[in-house]
Copies of this chain bind each other. A is one copy, B any other.
Amino acid sequence: MTRGTLPETGQLAYEDFEPGITIALGSRRITAEEIVEFAREFDDQAMHVDEASGARSLLGGLGASGWHTCALFIRMASDAFLLRSTTQGAPGVDYVRWKRPVLAGDTLTGLSEVVERRLSRSRPELGLVTMVHRLFNQRGETVMELRNTVMFLCRGENR
């Protein structure tokens, strides 16, 4: 059975995010330079800024900060669907699992799946969509999984 996905054009609203649909997040190659740049600013443990230290660490190479992988995820999700939607942001994240290292030269792809949704009780023009997002490396291995609930306005509501 082929699972549904989002409409290809037009602004996306709460109604479009039916449980069971999946959304491809496109593809993104990650370079040593951007791993080091992010890490120097935010998370400069040796394994994220130095090739040799990374190789000796649990990562086995110059590896991205897990928080950098999160930032790349929201970039990929923004380009795939959030920026053409009525999203009002998210109140948090249920969990993040950094399952495998993201190393310099890896090419990431991703898939977001709608697992459940409901209308807000306090603001009925707003819907809450719970999604599981996975990023994969070029070998198809899951490198990160996270779940969160994203708020979207219903169709026709003012932003």
A52 within 8 A of B: no
Q: Given that A96-B96, A159-B56 are known contacts, is A42 also in contact with B91, CB under 8 Å in the complex?
A: no
Q: Which A52-94 residues sit within 8 Å CB-CB of chain B?
A: 56-59, 65-67, 70-72, 74-75, 78, 82-83, 87-94
- Residues on A lying within 8 angstroms of B by beta carbon are 38, 41-45, 47, 56-59, 65-67, 70-72, 74-75, 78, 82-83, 87-99, 151, 159
User: Contact: A71 with B89, CB < 8 Å?
Assistant: no
A45 to B38, CA, bound (A): 20
| Residues on B with beta carbons closer than 8 Å to the beta carbon of A92 | 66, 95-99
User: Contact: B90 with A98, CB < 8 Å?
Assistant: yes
Query: Which listed residue (B42, B98, B99) contacts A74, Cβ 8 A?
Result: B42
User: Contact: B96 with A45, CB < 8 Å?
Assistant: no
| Given A67-B74, A94-B95, 16 more pairs with CB closer than 8 A | A41-B75, A42-B74, A43-B71, A43-B74, A43-B78, A45-B78, A56-B159, A59-B89, A67-B71, A70-B70, A71-B71, A91-B98, A92-B96, A92-B97, A92-B99, A96-B96
Minimal Cβ-Cβ distance residue in B for A38 = B71
Nearest 3 interchain pairs by C-beta: A92-B97, A93-B96, A42-B71
| Residues on B with beta carbons closer than 8 Å to the beta carbon of A93 | 66, 93, 95-96
User: Contact: B57 with A88, CB < 8 Å?
Assistant: yes
| Residues on B with beta carbons closer than 8 Å to the beta carbon of A57 | 88-89
A47 to B89, CA, bound (A): 9
